[in-house]
Amino acid sequence: MNANVHELLNQQINKEFYSAYLYLDFSNYFEDVGLDGFANWYKIQAQEERDHAMLFYQYLQNESQKVTLEAIAKPDKEFTCHMDVLKAGLEHEKYVTSLINDIYAAAYEDKDFRTMQFLDWFVKEQGEEETNANDMITKMELFGSDPRSLYMLNQELSARVYTAPSLVL
Ligand code: MG
């Protein structure tokens, strides 16, 4: 494997674990303010991010490439209201999309078709993640200022259940 592609894939393990940590921090925020449905939604999101990290880990293992685990950064976002959390989520997903695109570009440049095929799943996944993050903002804009609507939105989000990723390595 090309050294740059390898380095970027290895870094992505850390970025995905950081994503999990960030969403756990979101979940923690919502738990503190009593919105347990939002807390549930982000706790499951954190679980998905751990799955993503393990997919990058497993891909490198399968390719007999060395994995180097680095320290996971502290979640660094500050929130003064619910909307701040949701906007930080969208901003973060756009950043992750740019990371996936950068790895894809490096693999493309090296004609590393296997890595490109592996990344295809993540390209699609990032589209869904950005849509979900946008939807959360839209719903909060529509319903967040009315307590009864916010209660029902919280109920809706409490129904989210964890499902394992469709990509299996
Ligand atoms: Mg992810």
Q: Domains in the chain and their CATH numbers? A: 3-158 (1.20.1260.10)
Distance 97 CA to ligand 1 centre (A): 9
Q: Given pLDDT bands bounded at 50, 70 and 90, which one contains residue 9?
A: very high
Cα of 148 from ligand 1 centre, angstroms: 32
Q: Is residue 103 within 8 Å of residue 49, measured between CB atoms?
A: no
Helix or strand holding residue 56 (H, E): helix 36-62
Q: How far is the CA of 73 from the centre of ligand 1 (A)?
A: 16
- How much distance in Å is there from the Cα of 129 to the middle of ligand 1? 8
- Find the 72 Cα to ligand 1 centroid distance in Å: 15
C-alpha 145 to ligand 1 mean position (Å) = 30
CA angle 9, 165, 72 (to 5 degrees): 45
Per-residue pLDDT tens over the stretch 54-112: 999 999 999 999 999 999 999 988 899 999 999 999 999 999 999 999 999 999 999 99
Q: SS3 of 167, please?
A: coil
Q: What is the whole-number distance in angstroms between the Cα of residue 35 and the centre of ligand 1?
A: 24
Quote the tokens at residue 125: 């996944």
What is the reported pTM? 0.96
Three-point CA angle 124, 121, 59, nearest 5°: 150
Tokens of 141: 């804009």
Dist. CA 138 → ligand 1 center (Å) = 21
Q: Are 1 and 65 spatial neighbours (Cβ–Cβ below 8 Å)?
A: yes
The percent of residues above 90 in pLDDT, for the chain, comes to 98
Tell me which residue of 55, 73, 74, 63 sits closest to 12, measured CA to CA.
Answer: 55
CA dist 13 → 54, 99, 102 (Å): 7, 11, 14
Torsion angles phi and psi, residue 165, rounded to 5 = -60, 150
Distance in Å, CA 17 to ligand 1 centroid: 8
